[in-house]
Chains A and B, each alone.
Chain A
Amino acid sequence: MEGIFGNLAIGFIEVFKLQPVTMWGMTLQHVPFNILMCLIGCLLGTLIGVLPGIGPVATIAMLLPVTFNLSPIAALIMLAGIYYGAQYGGSTTAILVNIPGESSSVVTCLDGYQMARQGRAGPALATAAIGSFFAGCVSTLVVAMFAPPLAEVALKFGPAEYFSLMVLGLVAAVVLAHGSIIKAIAMVILGLLLGLVGTDVNSGVLRFAFGISELADGIGFVTVAMGMFGICEIIANLEQKEHREIFTSSVGKLMPSKEDWKRMWKPILRGTFLGSALGILPGGGALLASFGAYTLEKKVSKYSHEFGKGAIEGVAAPESANNAGAQTSFIPLLTLGIPSNAVMALMIGAMMIQGIAPGPQVMTERPQLFWGMIASMWVGNLMLVILNLPMIGMWIKLLTVPYRYLYPSILLFMAIGVFSISNQPFDCFLMACFGLLGYVCVKLGCEPAPMILGFILGPLMEENLRRAMLLSRGDPWVFISPSKPISMGFLIAAVALLAIIAAPALRKKREEVFVEET
Chain B
Amino acid sequence: MLRLLLLAALAAGPTLATAQVWPSKPLRLVAPYAAGGPIDISARLLAAKLQDSLGQPVVVENRPGAGGNIGVDLIAKGPADGYSLVMSAIATLAINPSLYPSLPYDPLKDLRHVTLLVQVPNVLIVTNDLPAKNVRELIALAKQRPGKLDFGSGSNGSTGHLAGEMFKMMTGTYMVHIPYKGSAPALADMMAGRIHLMFDNLASALPSIRSEKVRALATTTLKRSSFLPELPTLDEAGLKGFDMTTWWGVSVAAKTPQPVVDRLSAEILKAMDAPDFKDRLRNMGSEAPAIRTPDQFASFVASELKTYTELVKRSGAKAD
Interface string of A422-442 (1 = CB under 8 A from B): 111000000000000000000
Within 8 Å of chain B (Cβ to Cβ): is A361? yes
Q: Contacts A359-B207, A423-B63 known; A204 to B99 CB distance under 8 Å?
A: yes
CB distance from A77 to the nearest CB of B (A): 18
Within 8 Å of chain A (Cβ to Cβ): is B176? yes
Q: Which of A49-100 contact B (CB under 8 A)?
A: 57-58, 60-62, 64-65, 68
Q: Contacts A204-B319, A352-B283, A359-B211 known; A332 to B63 CB distance under 8 Å?
A: no
Q: Which of B136-144, B187-195, B238-246 contacts A (4 or more CB under 8 A)?
A: B187-195
Q: Are A214 and B213 in contact (CB under 8 A)?
A: no
Within 8 Å of chain B (Cβ to Cβ): is A282? yes
Q: Contacts A204-B99, A359-B208 known; A342 to B34 CB distance under 8 Å?
A: yes
Q: Contacts A61-B36, A199-B319, A199-B320 known; A345 to B210 CB distance under 8 Å?
A: no
Report chain B residues within 8 Å CB of A470: 150, 176, 178
Q: Contacts A202-B179, A353-B283 known; A64 to B213 CB distance under 8 Å?
A: no
Within 8 Å of chain B (Cβ to Cβ): is A358? yes
Within 8 Å of chain A (Cβ to Cβ): is B22? no
Interface string of A352-367 (1 = CB under 8 A from B): 1111011111000000
Q: Are B65 and A338 in contact (CB under 8 A)?
A: no
Q: Which of A38-46, A132-140, A155-163 contacts B (4 or more CB under 8 A)?
A: A155-163
Q: Contacts A155-B191, A342-B34, A358-B207 known; A422 to B283 CB distance under 8 Å?
A: no
CB distance from A364 to the nearest CB of B (A): 10
Q: Are B156 and A336 in contact (CB under 8 A)?
A: no
Q: Contacts A337-B208, A349-B36 known; A68 to B280 CB distance under 8 Å?
A: yes
Interface string of A204-228 (1 = CB under 8 A from B): 1110010001101100000000000
Q: Which of B11-19, B40-48, B82-90 contacts A (4 or more CB under 8 A)?
A: B40-48
Q: Are A155 and B188 in contact (CB under 8 A)?
A: yes
Interface string of A221-262 (1 = CB under 8 A from B): 000000000000000000000000000000000000000000
Report chain B residues within 8 Å CB of A463: 181
Q: Are B320 and A206 in contact (CB under 8 A)?
A: yes
Within 8 Å of chain B (Cβ to Cβ): is A4? no
Q: Which residue of chain A lies nearest to B207 when distances are taken between CB atoms in the complex?
A: A359
Residues of B in contact (CB 8 Å), total: 57
Within 8 Å of chain B (Cβ to Cβ): is A471? yes
Q: Are B189 and A282 in contact (CB under 8 A)?
A: no
Alpha-carbon gap, A463 to B69, bound state (A): 23
Within 8 Å of chain A (Cβ to Cβ): is B64? yes
CB distance from A220 to the nearest CB of B (A): 10
Within 8 Å of chain B (Cβ to Cβ): is A203? yes
Interface string of A175-216 (1 = CB under 8 A from B): 000000000000000000000000101111110010001101
| Other-chain contact of A422, B65, B157, B181, B206 (Cβ < 8 Å) | B65
Within 8 Å of chain A (Cβ to Cβ): is B318? yes
Interface string of B83-123 (1 = CB under 8 A from A): 00000000000000001000010000000000000000000
Q: Are B211 and A217 in contact (CB under 8 A)?
A: no
CB distance from A72 to the nearest CB of B (A): 11
Interface string of A403-426 (1 = CB under 8 A from B): 000000000000000000111100
Interface string of A265-297 (1 = CB under 8 A from B): 000000000000000001100000000000000
Q: Are A159 and B64 in contact (CB under 8 A)?
A: no
Q: Which residue of chain B lies nearest to A460 when distances are taken between CB atoms in the complex?
A: B181
| Other-chain contact of A349, B41, B47, B62, B192 (Cβ < 8 Å) | B41
Q: Are B36 and A204 in contact (CB under 8 A)?
A: no
Report chain A residues within 8 Å CB of B192: 155-156, 158
CB distance from A276 to the nearest CB of B (A): 19
Alpha-carbon gap, A58 to B64, bound state (A): 13
Report chain B residues within 8 Å CB of A65: 44-45, 47-48
User: Which residue numbers of A lie inside 8 Å of B, CB to CB?
Assistant: 57-58, 60-62, 64-65, 68, 154-156, 158-159, 199, 201-206, 209, 213-214, 216-217, 282-283, 332, 336-339, 342, 345-346, 349, 352-355, 357-361, 421-424, 463, 467, 470-471, 473
Q: What are 28 A-to-B residue pairs whose CB atoms are below 8 Å?
A: A61-B40, A62-B35, A199-B67, A201-B156, A202-B179, A203-B156, A204-B319, A213-B70, A213-B73, A213-B104, A216-B65, A282-B188, A336-B188, A338-B185, A342-B36, A345-B37, A345-B182, A346-B36, A349-B41, A352-B284, A353-B283, A354-B283, A355-B283, A359-B213, A361-B210, A422-B62, A467-B180, A471-B178
